[in-house]
A and B are shown apart, each in its own frame.
Chain A
Amino acid sequence: MDRLSLDIAHLFAGGLVLVSFMLLYQDRMSGLVNTFASHAVVVSLSVAWQAYIQQAPHLYITSAIALVVKAFVIPVALHRIIVRLGIHGTIEPVVGIGQTMLAGIGLVALSILVMLPITAQAGTLAREDLAFSLSVILLGLLMMVSRRNAVSQVIGFMSIENGLILAATGAKGMPLVVEISVAFSILVALIVIGIFLFRIRERFDTVDVHDLDRYRGERP
């Protein structure tokens, strides 16, 4: 594999980490959804590039699914949900944006420190890709714990899924089963989420999951 192909692959993977950071500092709902759409576009480009350099045509399917579903269909649906629920205002983070970003930088450093030494034998392509994808996964987790809004948590979860796709495609020759299943599970998961969002609204008049804590059923 020539140097340029690797560099481009790393460019996309690094770009994904960058967009993950951008997800962390969005302070408006619609901006968050748009940033997620670009996250999906980057992951789709990255998968397409992997398909090209690995000569694995089935990866184009994964790439197309990521592009169509996660860069277009889901953001459009989320925009509608946001408008219908009237929550396009400010996102309420649990801790300040600054601290979240610092924690994010720490997580990226951690994942690089963890992954690079132990994947020395796994090949150059998989090596950096795994470090980047672990960063994306950890940043997604960070986003899920640092936001109180159900929609932001869902977006955090989907960015984790993007990180997983990056890892799965970086692992050269991984059987098709997993790629399609990842894409499929996102679809299914989204249907569930969609239903839940509406049900949550129906019952609570809010999608701030903080308010759900009242219903723990533990009080005497």
Chain B
Amino acid sequence: MSDAGSLAVGAILLVPALSAALLALLPDDRTAARLNVVATLLTLGSAVVLFAVRPAPGHFLIVDDLNVVFIVLSTFVGSTTSVFSASYIAHELEIGRLAPAYLRFYHAMYQTLMFAMNLALLSNNIGLMWVAVELATLTTVMMVGIYRTAAALEAAWKYFILGSVGIALALFGTILVYLAARSVVGEGLDAMAWSVLVGSAAKFDPALLNLSFVFLLLGYGTKVGLVPLHAWLPDAHAEGPTPISAVLSGLLLNVALFAVLRFKTIMSSNPGALAPGPLMVSLGLLSVLFASFMLYRRHDIKRMFAYSSIEHMGIVTFAFGMGGALANFAGLLHMTLHSLTKSAIFFCVGHIAQVKGTQHMPDIRGLTVSHPLLGWGMVLGVVAIAGLPPMGIFVSEFLIVTSTFARQPALAVVLGLSLLVALGALLLRLNGLAFGDPYGSNEPSKASFVPVFAHFGLVFAAGIWLPPALVAWFQHVAALLS
């Protein structure tokens, strides 16, 4: 059976890699968009296979209970985003914002990004994972700058510099982990393999591990968008093409968080090392607090939801930092639901910005009247992301806040207040966006609503009823993490 597993793992990596090469050569934009969708669907199919069978861990690749969740989520959002991207890009070509030559580049980069993220998630080698995250950073930098406007170039430059510095710090941390492992495991590939590291972490030198975790948390934390390392995130989200904003928020931040989680597991298996929890809790809480206040003074719609991503990644980091079976479970659930909700919101936002011809919020009004489906999609999205019932994020936020109340009431008060502040900001903006008299351009939209409502459907379903199988799976993973 393990052969089928290896085949699936191979497909998850090779399909995006090969289609990236193919898409770079393919001149026709419609065929390219379709091929992009087909490739992501194939990858999703192979990812689902991993639930049933999985290969034995090798020197470079591993499939375990933790990364399967991330891979399936990542490939799923990747495939729905490619459907959205097809309709989004068609419009960008029509209005001439994107030249056909750049389109080839865009599709090739999209698949390269998918490849890099899947590789980062599947890697069993901390060096390989670092390379994959670096590749993902470079591809997204290229995509953020693709419109070549002054603002897009500034965003890409800022992202490139901050991302590279972050990634450089992460590499230093990775080297330190290798050094800590070398004296126990011996030289060579074993000293960089997850499966080996976690098992023998108890014997590592605690001082080296402590230092390495600081570098890794700051390095990969830059990619997660934790305050105060978040400066690149709003710009990159606002100025790049919207499908990329969706993938950045929905997936890339998770991949970076996944790396932090892997190293956190190593830290917690060593009794002498610093507890990683408090560090993550403080960075997470700071992000939530900061981002929720920053939501108020936004005028750019994509920028606002980028700050909301910082807020939610803060919540997830906070939950994983608190640790314990319940908080880990809630963190995992929150991360999954945030990915689904935020990418769906960006799908809506992309179409809204296209029909209105602007991202400037004061110029967008009365969407439920002028574009009922888009407008109500937006309402649904904001209700979901603000954590109101009956959507799924309410459940995960409720779990996080209540489990924190039981252990650290003071932290729970801060967290709860920040969530309320964010709720206020989002509802305030939503009121202007969705209701009132329509204003501005009234062009009909040729949006694809399937991805939007597929995501919202899942988030809604999660708020009403979580399948027992899923709950059992997440509980199992949460137990692994704690």
Contact = CB atoms under 8 A, between A and B. Distances in A.
Contact of B148 (A114, A161, A203): A203
A217 B300 contact: yes
A177 B151 CA distance: 36
Interface string A117-128: 111011000100
Contacts of A168: 171, 175
B311 interface: no
B153 A181 contact: no
The 7 closest A-B pairs by CB, nearest first: A173-B187, A118-B207, A178-B127, A181-B131, A212-B154, A215-B151, A215-B150
B161 A157 contact: yes
In which size bucket is the chain B interface? 35 or more
Interface stretch (A13-21, A28-36, A87-95, A184-192): A184-192
B209 to A, nearest CB: 10
Contacts of B130: 178, 181
Interface of B: 125, 127-128, 130-131, 134, 138, 141-142, 145, 148-151, 153-154, 156-158, 160-161, 164-165, 168-169, 171-172, 174-176, 178-179, 182-183, 187-189, 191-192, 205, 207-208, 210-211, 235, 238-239, 298-300, 303, 362
Contacts of A174: 127, 175, 178, 187, 192
Interface of A: 114-115, 117-119, 121-122, 126, 130, 133-134, 137, 141, 144, 150, 153, 157, 160-161, 164, 167-168, 171-175, 177-178, 181-182, 185, 188-189, 192-193, 196, 199-200, 203-204, 209, 212-213, 215-220
Given A188-B138, A196-B160, A134 B172 contact: yes
The binding surface of chain B is classed by DSSP as helix
A114 B211 contact: yes
A174 B189 CA distance: 8
Given A119-B179, A196-B160, A175 B189 contact: yes
Contacts, number: 133
Nearest to A167: B175
6 contacts: A114-B211, A174-B127, A177-B192, A181-B130, A189-B164, A203-B150
A200 B157 contact: yes
